[in-house]
Structure 1
Amino acid sequence: MLNIPPFVIASALVLLAELCFAGVSALVKHTSAQLPFEHLVFFRNLFALLVLLPWLYRKRATAFRTEQFGLHILRAVFGIAAMYLFFLVIATIPLAQATLVLLLAPFLIPIISYFWLKEHIRPRLFATIALGFVGAFVFLNPAQQALHPMVGVAFIAAIFAAWTKTMIRKLSATESPSKIVFYFSFFASVLSFFPLLIRWQPIPLSAWLGILGIGLFAVIGQLAMTRAFSIAPPSQVGVFTYSSVIFAALLGYLFWGEAITSYMVAGFVIILSAGYLTLKR
């Protein structure tokens, strides 16, 4: 049997999760032309919850047992706030720029982990994070093209996203990945139900396929990310969430004809270098 280091497994799971999240972003962008994003946020969480029903049936009462009830609620509040902001950004600007929020969160995760989880952060990790930031800057190329004001909203969403990803590490000490995803999906569904009532409108049949895809990709991504952060600290594997913008750029090019420039390619190489240096640390 192959003896694969936990760090490598966790990194691969983060890449899988980010590919799924890029798929969610693409489906949100497509479906938001037909529905308000309040609908998409609610059904994204509801269908993720429905996917977990077989697990809930097997576990029965034990599925609800938790020593971290308050932290589950707090993660849902931060997560749903990030989701609303991010979905709004996706519907407004190009997919690769919108995915900037996923590139900002890793810069904040080590800082949160250091102060909250008391994790030791090596100086070299900060250097790779700085290199990833340079890659993101080159990728977006703000010197040549003005950034949309919605990028500022992405900054705010990144703060919430970083907290939710760090909370996974805290929760995984006592909770299984399925339980973490279940509680998030449950509380997020409840929190997003009331905005749905305010903005409710009939859902066309053509939009249901996109809604189903959003829920399916979301739950796979959450399970992969939760498992990754239970194997390795977020301060170590969070750098691989940079890959999300690459996946988003490819999807934007394939389905919306959004240009992939030489600056994007250069930024991609720099971001990959940051990930490689983290792997070789």
Structure 2
Amino acid sequence: MLMLLSTVCFTANVLLIRALGEFATVNVWLISCTRFVVGLVMILALYRQEFQPRHLYQNRQLISRGLAGGIGVYAYYLTVIHIGPGRATFINNTYVIFGALLAVWMLGERFTAARATGSTMALGGLALLTNPFAAGAVTSIYDLLAIGGAFLSAYIVVTIRQLHASEHTSTIFAAQCVYGLLVCSVPAALHPEPIAPLAWAVMLGAGICAGAGQLAMTRAFRELPVAEGSLLQMIVPVGIALGGFALFGEHFTRHELLGAALILGGTTYTSLRR
């Protein structure tokens, strides 16, 4: 239930950013920085006793998790700009497979036939929903960068599982916020721009949704295997598509609707088998 809650929060985050683009042009790096700052405020407000800030520079795994998260955000936004959101999202979400295989090696988890089937269905559905390899698309260095970002995401979820043996959820999330802020603050500072109060309010709401989603996801990975937890995150593109239809008048073809059905079918199949 926590992982499902995180998908709702992440979907709301993206839809708020989508709404922000309707009336304001805001640097994506500033949006990322706002997200990380809001996350730190939430941690200090909710987990003042459990949070261990000294561990952020004493624990090497926390440092690597934080840096990987910050670089992953940078890589994702860069690939969205250069190869398009559909192609970038599809390639990035292949971390579901990479993470499951990495967990077999690093954590000794089982990559069962049910999880393999569900992952394949969900990835196929995501390909139909995002249409990443449309006519005219060409392979570039940014495709390789997107694959690297998928590997980083796989490493992150496996590391979260490992860190739960010694660290609290709040400290694990704080690593992403602190080191992600270090990575994203530089490009944000290079492009300063005036921001309207309404835009700040929307970014604040988006940051709260992202923070709540990240806390719920991080805590859920304490109990869920990497393959199953990552697979449930594939629901987010479906939620974004439904939100785009209901709120922004976006329309979808038959193959896109089939893709959404495959994602839901793949995640549901795996959960019911468990």
* Same-fold status (TM-score > 0.5): yes
1:136 aligns with 2:132: no
Structure 1 gaps, min length 5: 1-11
Farther off after superposition, 107-116 or 20-29:
20-29
Equivalent pair of 1:75/1:184 in contact (CA under 8 Å): yes
Counterpart residue number, 1:197 = 189
Residue deviations 1:19-61, cap 9 Å, x none?
Answer: 211222223344455221121111111111112222454457x
CA shift, 1:87, in A, is 3.6
Identity %: 24
Residue 42 of structure 1 aligns to which amino acid in structure 2? C
The alignment covers a number of residue pairs equal to 269
Equivalent pair of 1:178/1:223 in contact (CA under 8 Å): yes
Matches within 5 A, 1:56-67: 57-59=48-50, 62-65=52-55
Whole-Å Cα distance in 1 between the matches of residues 217 and 58 of structure 2? 19
Matches within 5 A, 1:75-224: 75-88=65-78, 99-100=89-90, 103-141=93-131, 152=143, 154-224=146-216
Equivalent pair of 1:131/1:270 in contact (CA under 8 Å): yes
**Cα–Cα, structure 1 residues 164 and 115, in superposed 2: closer, same or farther, change >3 Å?**
same
CA shift, 1:101, in A, is 5.4
Counterpart residue number, 1:27 = 16
TM-score of the superposed pair, with normalisation by structure 1: 0.82
**DSSP-derived class of the 2:93 partner:** helix
Whole-Å Cα distance in 2 between the matches of residues 258 and 146 of structure 1? 22
Equivalent pair of 2:76/2:92 in contact (CA under 8 Å): no
Whole-Å Cα distance in 1 between the matches of residues 174 and 8 of structure 2? 21
**Cα–Cα, structure 1 residues 148 and 206, in superposed 2: closer, same or farther, change >3 Å?**
farther
TM-score of the superposed pair, with normalisation by structure 2: 0.84
1:242 aligns with 2:231: no
Aligned alpha-carbon RMSD (Å) = 3.0
Whole-Å Cα distance in 2 between the matches of residues 23 and 86 of structure 1? 19
**Cα–Cα, structure 1 residues 149 and 194, in superposed 2: closer, same or farther, change >3 Å?**
same
**Cα–Cα, structure 1 residues 186 and 66, in superposed 2: closer, same or farther, change >3 Å?**
closer
Counterpart residue number, 1:6 = none
Whole-Å Cα distance in 2 between the matches of residues 207 and 177 of structure 1? 30
1:18 aligns with 2:2: no
**Cα–Cα, structure 1 residues 79 and 63, in superposed 2: closer, same or farther, change >3 Å?**
closer
